[in-house]
Amino acid sequence: MIDVHPSVFPVGAAALTSFARMGVQFWRIEDGPDGAAFEFLVERSMTRSFWSWFAASAGEFGYRVTIGKGYP
């Protein structure tokens, strides 16, 4: 479990963990207009699986998952 509350996980902080049995590295970037923002790094072969799982999981709690500027 990783606490990503802004008081303990500031902009620039990074963590390595696993989500749904996939190795994931993520870090907090500058806050967006809707609050805290993060970038994620997963193995290329796991990208679609991760995206599908993450978007569904986030949506369940009312969060929106978007692709950042400069990404295809």
Q: What is the pLDDT of residues 3-55, one digit of tens each?
A: 999 899 999 999 999 988 889 999 999 998 888 889 999 998 998 888 888 88
Q: Per the structure block, which two tokens stand in for 20?
A: 């749904």
Per-residue confidence (pLDDT) for residue 51, from 0 to 100: 85
Considering the entire predicted model, what is its pTM?
0.74
Q: Residue 37: which of 45, 46, 28 has the closest Cα?
A: 28
